[in-house]
């Protein structure tokens, strides 16, 4: 029998201990990621980050993001940007590079799919 993996409240669940954000340019910025499920190159979970600025890349995987709480601005490599907040849904494809500016502690639900190497 196969059973469902359940997180009853992704908005308030405790994802664990925050650790320093390695790619941050803001001293003291922290993050935590909780993996809920993984199989065959697919993973999903909850991620949270405190206010600050950090660089981000997607080397070898696509990511679907649903913002649950908080606010931020994501700036693309070409300088264009978009605002994210509760309800925002977006995809960062493999090879994507950008900068996140977090205005309020942000929590997202993420789904990652590995892209096969050529």
Burial of 74 (0-12, 13-18, 19+ CB in 10 A): buried
The pLDDT, as a whole number, for residue 116 is 86
Domains and CATH numbers, the chain: 34-114 (2.60.120.10)
Sheet strands (E) in the chain: 19-20, 30-39, 42-49, 52-57, 61-76, 81-84, 89-92, 97-114
The pLDDT, as a whole number, for residue 2 is 81
The pLDDT, as a whole number, for residue 67 is 98
Flag residues of the chain having pLDDT under 70. Answer: 118
The pLDDT, as a whole number, for residue 117 is 78
């Amino acid at each position: 029998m196969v059973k469902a993996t359940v997180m009853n409240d992704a908005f308030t669940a405790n994802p664990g201990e925050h650790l320093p954000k390695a790619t941050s340019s803001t001293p003291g910025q922290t993050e935590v990621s909780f993996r809920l499920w993984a199989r065959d190159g697919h993973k999903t979970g909850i991620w949270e980050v405190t206010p600050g600025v950090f660089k981000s890349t997607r080397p070898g995987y696509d990511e679907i993001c649903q913002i649950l709480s908080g606010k931020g601005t994501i700036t693309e490599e070409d300088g264009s940007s978009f605002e994210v907040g509760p309800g925002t849904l977006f995809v960062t494809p493999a090879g994507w590079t950008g900068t996140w500016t977090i205005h309020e502690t942000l929590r997202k639900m993420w789904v990652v799919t590995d892209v096969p190497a050529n």
